[in-house]
Amino acid sequence: MNQNFEQSIVFGNDGALIRHRVLRNTYWLLALSMVPTILGAWLGVVLNFSLFPGRPGMSFIVFMVVAFGFMFAIEKTKESAIGVAVLLGFTFFMGLMLSRLISYTLGYSNGGTLIMTAFGGTAAILAVMATIATTSKRDFSGMGKWLFVGLMVIVVASIANIFFQIPALYLTVSVIAIGIFSAYILYDVQQVINGGETNYISATLRIYLDVYNIFVNLLSLLGIFGGNRD
């Protein structure tokens, strides 16, 4: 009995070490993924990049096809170093897609300040949610299904607003999206901590998308309420 008890301690410690390593690698890869994102955004601004100008519906469809293609490829290659390269390629693409919002924001006289404020706010949300997920004894796994429902509502509302262009709906979706993706950080980080996610590439992809969506929606709101065209 003592031998079994000792073995359980060893296996438990090994499991904790593995989870810690996955979380550490996830944070490192998440930080690295910001480099191609920034590069893609910068290049998009310089080249005035835009998918199908004047055709938002077509742009959205192409974006979704390419994005899901990347995510499918990441999941297929996540057990090898190729998965890291594909993930970084995806983050470059996401940076490129971000460039239109960045360009629009830079049109404000305080655009640079708005971008840095959105970046700082996103970083603060990530730090707070990751800390709660790491230190809290509460199990947040039950949030998964409700967060998914909220995500579907956001997607449907966003698609509808491409055609209806209702400002109030856009604002509502942006606020809800910040809340949903902030909660997703809590959920996704704890999945790693509890062993629900054991691949750091998959974990990075999930948390990256959380952070990306928070930044986009926060920057949009800051531009609407704090942008100065003077």
pLDDT of residue 230: 65
Provide CB contacts within 8 A for 91, sequence distance 6+. Answer: 33, 34, 36, 37, 40, 208
Taking residues 148-162, report their average pLDDT.
Answer: 90
Residue range 199-207: mean pLDDT, rounded: 96
Q: Say whether pLDDT at 9 is over 50.
A: no
pLDDT at 6 (0 to 100): 42
| 171, 221 Cβ separation under 8 angstroms | yes
For residue 124, what are its two tokens?
A: 């603060």
Structural domain boundaries, residue 140? 2-226
Of 4-8, 17-21, 144-148, 167-171, the least confident: 4-8
pLDDT at 13: 58
| Percent share of the chain, pLDDT over 70 | 93
- Averaged pLDDT for residues 114-121: 96
The dihedral built from the CA positions of residue 10, 131, 216 and 153, taken in this order, carries a sign that is: positive
Residues in the chain, total: 230
Q: Does position 101 have pLDDT exceeding 90, yes or no?
A: yes
Model confidence band, residue 11 (pLDDT cutoffs 50, 70, 90): very low
Q: How many domains does the chain have?
A: 1
HEC string of 123-174 equals HHHHHHHHHHHHHCCCCCHHHHHHHHHHHHHHHHHHHHHHHHCCHHHHHHHH
Residue 206, pLDDT score: 96
What average pLDDT does the chain have? 89
User: How does residue 54 score in pLDDT terms, banded at 50, 70 and 90?
Assistant: confident
State which H helix or E strand residue 199 sits in. none
Q: Which of 3-17, 23-37, 130-144 has the highest mean pLDDT?
A: 23-37
104 pLDDT tier (thresholds 50, 70, 90): very high
- Looking at residue 136, what is its pLDDT? 87
pLDDT at position 8: 43
Q: Which of 51-60, 132-141, 157-166, 198-207 has the lowest mean pLDDT?
A: 51-60
Q: What is the DSSP letter of 72?
A: H
User: What pTM does this model have?
Assistant: 0.90
Inform me whether the pLDDT recorded for 161 exceeds 90.
no
pLDDT at 80 over 60: yes
